[in-house]
Structure 1
Amino acid sequence: MGAGGPDDEDNRWPPWLKPLLKEHFFVQCKFHVDSHKSECNMYCLDCMNGPLCSLCLAFHKDHRAIQIRRSSYHDVIRVAEIQKFLDISSVQTYIINSAKVVFLNERPQPRPGKGVTNTCEVCERSLLDSFRFCSLGCKIVGTSNDNGIQKNKLSPEKKRVQPAEDSDDSQSSSSSSSRVHGRSSKKLPSFVPSTPPPTSASYRTAKRRKGIPHRAPMGGLLVEI
Structure 2
Amino acid sequence: MKNLTYLFLFLCNLSISLAQEKGLHKDFVYIKEQIPNIKLDIRYAGSNNFIGKPVNAYYKPVGILTKVATEALKNAQDDLMQEGYCLKIFDAYRPQTAVNHFIEWARHPKDTLTKNKFYPEIAKKDLFQLGYIASKSGHSRGSTVDLTIIDMNTGKELDMGSKYDFFGDISHHNTNKINKEQKANRLLLKRIMLKNGFRPYSEEWWHYTLRNEPYPETYFDFPVQ
TM-score bracket relative to the smaller structure: under 0.3
Question: RCO greater where, 1 or 2, for CA within 8 Å and sep 6 or more?
Answer: 2
TM-score by length of 2: 0.23
Instruction: Indicate the structure with greater helix content.
Output: 2
Instruction: Indicate the structure with greater strand content.
Output: 2
Larger radius of gyration: 1
